[in-house]
Amino acid sequence: MVHEELDGLTKAGADYIQLDEPWLAHPPHGLTLHDGVDAINRTLSGLSGRLAVHVCFGNNAGRPFADRRLDRLLDALINLRCHSLALEFANREMAGVDLLAPLSERFDIAAGVIDVKNFYIESGEDVARRIRLCLAHMPAEKLTVTADCGFSALPRYLARAKLQAMVAGARIVRDEL
């Protein structure tokens, strides 16, 4: 069913599809991580355009439901058939950022540098520090910065301030490069 929805989007002209996967980090019904990867790969199979997978560690209300260590997912993630991974880092204090080295050999990375599960408003320098941590493990041309997840659970003023901080942090690092 999801494959049909995504196929409809590509036929309508969408050239970038991101599948948000809330169960890969905690597969239900006794399934394994590799079962989850197989389901994602079947879902994305045959689609055109750039394909991304967002690995989610919790819901949008900020309550994680899985072990949030990225290293335990590495063997499964490397088998995804997509172009890009969107990964949460900011809400985990950048834990696992060192895994960007092996992942970026295979994928472009959208690294979460804004914590959407926290009302703390990052400064541009906070964001720049997080981006620099990413760049210590991967090439700049493979990195996109993003928020950990969507902003639906945050008040609009807070989401706007966090986006402004993301832009400011990206500008700081761009100027350094």
**CB-CB contact of 126 with 169 (8 Å):** yes
**CB-CB contact of 169 with 122 (8 Å):** yes
What CATH number did the domain enclosing 169 receive? 3.20.20.210
Q: Where in the sequence is the domain holding 166, given as residue range(s)?
A: 2-176
Domain count of the chain? 1
pLDDT tens readout for residues 122-147: 999 999 999 999 999 999 999 999 99
Please, which pLDDT band fits residue 25 given cuts at 50, 70 and 90? Answer: confident
pLDDT at 121 over 90: yes
**CB-CB contact of 56 with 81 (8 Å):** no
**β-sheet with 143-147: strand ranges across:** 16-21, 50-55, 84-87, 108-114, 143-147
pLDDT tens readout for residues 84-119: 999 999 999 999 999 999 999 999 999 999 999 899
Task: Give the integer Cα–Cα distance in Å for 172 and 32.
Answer: 41
